[in-house]
Amino acid sequence: MSSSLPTSLIYAGTFERVMDGKHRVTIPAAWLAQGISEFHSIPNPSEECLIVMPPHEFQIIEERIHQSGAAAAERRKAIRQFYSRARAISADAQGRILFSEEQCSPLQLKGEVVLVGGRSRFEIWNAKRWHAVATEEHDSFRNIAHLIGL
């Protein structure tokens, strides 16, 4: 299986949304216009957000675990944790995705949330937490942008 992404698949931008009481959030129309409405969600193990990715990207994660160089027992544990925390989700006719309480509650995803593009996947953040993270990361982005001539 190839690890390359479809060249047209790009989730870009930042979108403020309201997650309703059923844990549904509307996905930007431009993101759904790329022809993908089936996704997988998984809490980010190192940050306080939910990662949402199309099936192709989801498969790549397992490939990366197998290719990580970790011992077989560690890979098996990582795969177990990855799949046990992930949920298959899809957009409804109104472009909304329903997330589980189990994934939303620990990340305080309710009410105001922010969808953050990340090229091949996107993240959903609690709005207050996202604004703090974006402020913290500003200098790093500015430094890298300067280094690459952006």
Q: What would the pLDDT profile of 108-131 be if each residue is shown by its tens digit?
A: 999 999 999 999 999 999 999 999
Cβ atoms of 40 and 58 within 8 Å: the answer is: yes
Mean pLDDT across the chain: 92
Residue 39 lies in a domain: yes
CATH code for position 105: 3.40.1550.20
Range of 76's domain? 14-148
Say if residues 44 and 19 touch (Cβ distance below 8 Å).
no
| Model pTM score | 0.88
Q: Is residue 6 part of a domain?
A: no
Which distant-in-sequence residues (6+ apart) come within 8 Å of 128 by Cβ? 112
The number of domains in the chain is 1
Domain assignment present for residue 48? The answer is yes
